[in-house]
Amino acid sequence: QVQLVESGGGLVQAGGSLRLSCAASGSIFSINAMGWYRQAPGKQCELVATIISGGSTNYADSVKGRFTISRDNAKNTVYLQMNSLKPEDTAVYYCNAFIYIRRSGIPIGGDYWGQGTQVTVTS
């Protein structure tokens, strides 16, 4: 079994910073892309940022220049440093990863999600 456990959410004033972490654990063979998504009340889930195993990153236009995604492959952990937070960043943030596990010696890839962590930015 594979689990993604997020931490680091909370309440912060506009202009402040938070750092989210997401650690993958279990019978992991390898991890390809890791990323963060968010869902605000009444809105659809949206991509925030992704990072592949080689380190290339992709960001939503709304967070470029303010958020930084990084990963520690040795720890199977992805981070999201969020600076200059705005009230519109308020959402539940979900960690996502495409993870390969071994079944009968064969690597099988699948999409895994964390439980979500609340980020609230007050004005």
Residue 82's contacts (CB-CB under 8 Å, 6 or more residues apart) are: 17, 18, 19, 20, 63, 66, 67, 89, 119
Q: Under 8 Å CB-to-CB from 30, ≥6 apart: which residues?
A: 53, 99, 100, 107
23 neighbors 86 (Cβ within 8 angstroms): no
Check whether 1 has a pLDDT greater than 90: no
**Would you say residue 96 has pLDDT above 90?**
yes
**Is it the case that residue 74 has pLDDT exceeding 90?**
yes
Give the confidence band of 73 by pLDDT, cuts at 50, 70, 90.
Answer: very high
Q: What is the pLDDT of residues 77-86, one digit of tens each?
A: 999 999 999 9
Token code pair at residue 8: 């680091």
pLDDT digits (tens, 9 = 90+) for 10-28: 999 999 999 999 999 999 9
DSSP summary character for residue 88: G
| 8 A C-beta contact, residue 67 and residue 59 | yes
Interatomic CA distance for residues 7 and 54, integer angstroms: 24
